Amino acid sequence: MIKVTYIQPDGREATVKARPGDSVMQTALNNNVPGIIAECGGSMACATCHVYVAEAWQTQAGARKDGEEDMLDCAMSEMRDTSRLSCQIKLTEALDGLRVYLPEEQG
Amino acid sequence: MTSGRIVIVGAGQGGLQAAVCLRQEGYLGPITLIGSENHLPYQRPPLSKAYLKTGQADSLRLRPLSFFNDQNITLLLGNAVTNIDPATQQVAHCSGTLVYDHLILAMGTRNLRPDIPGLEHALDLRTLDDAERLRLAMIDAHSVAVIGGGFIGLEFAAVARGLGLQVTVAEAAPRLMARVVSPQMSEHFLKLHRAMGTTIMLNASVSQVNAKGIVACGSTVKADLVVLAAGVRPNTELAQQAGLAIDNGVRTNAHLLTSDPAISAIGDCAAFPDPATGRLVRLESVQATTDHARLIARRLTKGSSDKYTSVPWFWSDQAENKLQIAGFATPGDVAIMRADGAVFCFEGDYLSAVETVNDPRTHMQARQLLVGGARPTRDILDNQGYEISPIQR
Ligand SMILES: Cc1cc2nc3c(=O)[nH]c(=O)nc-3n(C[C@H](O)[C@H](O)[C@H](O)COP(=O)(O)OP(=O)(O)OC[C@H]3O[C@@H](n4cnc5c(N)ncnc54)[C@H](O)[C@@H]3O)c2cc1C
Ligand code: FES
């Protein structure tokens, strides 16, 4: 079973179960985790699903997709090395235990 | 208002978002979301894109059923509202009546069905049920004719072509997506679709549909499957019967209140003042719908008197091409194409919209440029060679 932990800006954590194949964004919405708006539903058109991937998980989470960086660069909260659009991270067993931090503001 | 009864008519993108935002803003009173469809609220954009290939209805769902229980939102599905009585603040639906302190109208649109003989042979693409019917019909089809060369018709055409079907699009206007993009962008997409092997007929009014295909401009186009994508009409009848002001949609002021102060309207069914020009507009986009929902939730929960000022933005995926529009242009605007293909539209001297294809950076920069109804002049952009960053606010 895949578990993902979402950490709010104030430090509160929520660990939820994910279905393989769902994105980190979809998993948040399915489990009522606040802080991810996901206006475009994963079409990489809105940048309101911004997360910071915990450093230990950066490699497993993979590289940014084409165009992702441009969207992140203009996202509401500051882009960092660990920034990803959570709709572009698909969950597999290899990501069991993934930790992501939510930014202050999404949109 | 922190405890009044809120009733939301329409459990689509806007209705759901209004309920979500109300709870996020801390609204404690009872919320009822009523929808005529039998599905949990879902997103429509993928219906003409990924869904037709995958058939995964799960991933369209905006929130799981547990969300409504957890958030104490009463969800009535398969329940059309049949009457609104502003005098007694009541709505009637198929299985009862509800009293409201505030009513939010999020009824969306329905497909326009022009008066074409034989149109009953054509399939719609508006709801999940429509898309499912279409997806199954495509499995056995070899050829498809699409009535209408707007966003939805072209997105569908791209998917059908990708699945190997023979595709013909008949568009009555002289160019594609004529209502919403510049002539340059229409031309760009005309080339793209033709390069994919799709037959595009322009100035081609469809005069007949039958079991074998369509007749457009006197010539017969054979098709196993005909899809109707000729635009939509806002669902305003209920509001009209209730005596609300209607003007190409349920008319609202800059606070998204209708002519009745106890009723707000959002999304595809609402006609609201464009922050940049003050003109009444009705947008069929996820952005407008969700931003409307947020503004209304802040007003109802926190008493905010903010006006609606969001920058309109839109996207459309057609094969590998992501068209993105920031701002709002009208067909008469002057359009200038930058060397890399980005198109800048001007209403008189003022920037109204920026259109890009597979260029998220310019799109996002344009959104920042237009924040708060700002309208940079053509002179400024001209002097910068239409580069946005140097003049970014
Ligand atoms: C195929 C397709 C592709 C799209 N692609 C894009 C895109 O790429 N980008 C984009 O920005 N936008 C896109 N859109 C538009 C976007 O989906 C809409 O702007 C958005 O759904 C509007 O939300 P809404 O709540 O106003 O209406 P809807 O989501 O349409 O919801 C309205 C709901 O109200 C219900 N209803 C109506 N009358 C009643 C009643 N009397 N009682 C109870 N319920 C009622 C309807 O059944 C419906 O479920 C697309 C739309 C379609 C159909
Ligand atoms: S959900 Fe819109 S970019 Fe990820």
The alpha carbon of B227 is separated from its chain's Cα centroid by a whole number of angstroms, namely: 18
A30 touching B, CB under 8 A? yes
Pick the CATH number of A2-101 from 3.40.50.300, 3.30.565.10, 3.10.20.30, 3.50.50.100: 3.10.20.30
- Is B312 domain-assigned? no
Which of ligand 1's atoms lies nearest the C-alpha of B108? 27
Query: Are B170 and B217 contained in the same domain?
Result: yes
- Is B213 domain-assigned? yes
Measured CA angle at B27 (ends B237, A105), to 5 deg: 100
Nearest CA to ligand 2 atom 3: A44
CB atoms within 10 A of CB B128: 20
Of the listed ligands, the closest to the CA of B36 is 1
Query: Which residue type is seen at A72?
Result: L
Across the beta sheet with B321-327, the strand order is: B313-318, B321-327, B350-357, B343-347, B334-337
- Is B87 domain-assigned? yes
- Is B238 domain-assigned? yes
B393 vs B369: which has the higher pLDDT: B369
| Token output for A47 | 């940048």
Query: Are B220 and B152 contained in the same domain?
Result: yes
| Token output for B132 | 């499912």
Query: Are B156 and B292 contained in the same domain?
Result: no
Query: Are B186 and B325 contained in the same domain?
Result: no
Measured CA angle at A87 (ends B186, B47), to 5 deg: 50
> Closest chain B residue to A21 measured between Cα atoms?
B59
Query: Are B266 and B218 contained in the same domain?
Result: no
Measured CA angle at B231 (ends B230, B234), to 5 deg: 150
Domain extents for chain A?
2-101
Last residue of a domain, one of B211, B228, B245: B228
A37 touching B, CB under 8 A? yes
Query: Are B204 and B253 contained in the same domain?
Result: no
pLDDT value at position B326? 97
Count: domains in chain B: 3
Neighbouring residues of B304: CB distance < 8 A, sequence distance ≥ 6 = B295, B298
| Token output for B368 | 């920042």
Query: Are B246 and B353 contained in the same domain?
Result: no
Beta carbons of A40 and A47 less than 8 angstroms apart:
no
pLDDT value at position B117? 96
**Phi then psi dihedrals of residue B182, to 5 deg:** -70, 160
- Is B117 domain-assigned? yes
Of the listed ligands, the closest to the CA of A40 is 2
pLDDT value at position B344? 97
Neighbouring residues of B269: CB distance < 8 A, sequence distance ≥ 6 = B10, B105, B106, B107, B108, B109, B234, B235, B236, B239, B249, B250, B282
Which of ligand 2's atoms lies nearest the C-alpha of A86? 4
- Is B14 domain-assigned? yes
Which of ligand 2's atoms lies nearest the C-alpha of A88? 4
Instruction: Give distance in angstroms: CA of B33 to centre of ligand 1.
Output: 15
Q: For the whole model, what pTM was predicted?
A: 0.96
Ligand 2 pocket: which of A44, A68, A69, A79 to mutate (most atoms within 8 A of CB): A44
Query: Are B202 and B131 contained in the same domain?
Result: yes
Of the listed ligands, the closest to the CA of B360 is 2
- Cβ pair B315:A40 closer than 8 A: yes
- Cβ pair B71:A32 closer than 8 A: yes
Flag whether pLDDT at B174 surpasses 80.
Answer: yes
A7-64 residue pLDDT tens: 999 999 999 999 999 999 999 998 889 899 999 999 999 999 999 999 999 999 999 9
Q: What is the CATH number of the domain that holds B373?
A: 3.30.390.30
Q: Is A40 in the pocket of ligand 2 (CB under 6 A)?
A: yes
Which of ligand 1's atoms lies nearest the C-alpha of B48? 1
B315 → closest Cβ in A29, A43, A70:
A43
- Chain B 180-219, residues with CB within 8 Å of chain A CB atoms: none
- What average pLDDT does range B273-293 have in this prediction? 96
Query: Are B363 and B224 contained in the same domain?
Result: no
Q: What is the span of the domain harbouring residue B161?
A: 113-228
B127-154 residue pLDDT tens: 999 999 999 999 999 999 999 999 999 9
A55-99 residue pLDDT tens: 999 999 999 998 899 999 888 889 999 999 999 999 999 999 999
Q: What is the CATH number of the domain that holds B245?
A: 3.50.50.60
Query: Are B66 and B124 contained in the same domain?
Result: no
Ligand 2 pocket: which of A27, A33, A37, A46 to mutate (most atoms within 8 A of CB): A46
Query: Are B23 and B104 contained in the same domain?
Result: yes
As a whole number of angstroms, the distance between CA B155 and CA B152 comes to 5
